[in-house]
């Protein structure tokens, strides 16, 4: 069992490692298996770095009425800090359902939930792509994510290399497109629907 996270320790981890979650009632760090899915309505964006006071203030403001499976999460993106209240879903199916019904773009697998990627990582919701279902690696199951659910809308060099054959000669309205452009458009459209 990990130690409790003080506001100072929580802020330090977010600022240096990129993100963290701890139980809003007990301060215990989130551990896998499980997928963290943000609960709409309790998000806050501030400039980096996260301070212990900001962490404490956000947590105190949102703690009343929380359940035992709800966590204070924060992550750094660029020079911004995003804080939220997330629910730890115990399976991929419940995480997908919660993410899609809450119009969330992505959740975070803490590890040990997804057989396709045991180390965990981001899971992008609502990524069913017609035409890819003939290849098993593009199909999601109750126990594993699909390639589409794991790909970031901002492709890495490795993503580009892995998708070289997938992208070959794909066209939309006569223009050559990549699978990452499709995934980026899906995420953009989800944000525009009020996410």
DSSP string over 150-174: H--SS--HHHHHHTHHHHTT-EETT
- Give me 191's structure tokens: 């944000």
Least confident of 8-22, 50-64, 79-93, 167-181: 167-181
End-to-end Cα, the chain, rounded Å:
34
CB burial readout 56-68, b (16+ within 10 A) else e: eebbeebeeebee
pTM attached to this predicted model: 0.75
SS3 at position 72: strand
What's the pLDDT at 195?
A: 45
Beta bridge partners of 46: 81
What's the pLDDT at 17?
A: 95
What's the pLDDT at 20?
A: 94
Strands 80-89 and 35-38: antiparallel
Mean pLDDT within 99-117: 94
Spatial CA neighbour of 106 closest among 98, 115, 117? 98
Tens-place pLDDT, residues 119-157: 999 999 987 766 666 677 778 889 999 887 887 767 677
User: DSSP secondary-structure letter at 110?
Assistant: -
Per-residue pLDDT at 194 exceeds 90: no
SS3 at position 29: strand
Mean pLDDT within 65-91: 95
């Amino acid at each position: 069992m990990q130690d409790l996270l003080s506001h100072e320790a929580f802020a330090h981890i977010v600022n240096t490692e990129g993100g963290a979650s701890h139980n809003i009632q007990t301060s215990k760090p989130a551990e896998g298996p499980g997928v963290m899915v943000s609960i709409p309505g309790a998000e806050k964006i501030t400039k980096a770095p996260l301070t212990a006071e900001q962490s404490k203030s956000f947590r105190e403001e949102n703690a009343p009425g929380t359940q035992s499976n709800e966590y204070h999460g924060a992550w750094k993106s660029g020079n911004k800090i995003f804080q939220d209240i997330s629910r730890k879903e115990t399976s991929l199916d419940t995480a997908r359902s919660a993410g899609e019904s809450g119009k969330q773009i992505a959740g975070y697998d803490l590890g040990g939930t997804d057989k396709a990627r045991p180390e965990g990582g981001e899971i992008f919701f609502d990524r069913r792509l017609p035409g890819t279902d003939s290849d098993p690696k593009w199909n999601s199951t109750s126990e594993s994510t699909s390639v589409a659910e794991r790909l970031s809308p901002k492709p890495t060099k490795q993503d580009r290399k892995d998708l070289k054959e997938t992208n070959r000669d794909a066209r939309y309205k006569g223009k050559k497109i990549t699978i990452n452009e499709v995934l980026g458009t899906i995420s953009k459209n989800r944000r525009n629907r009020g996410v």
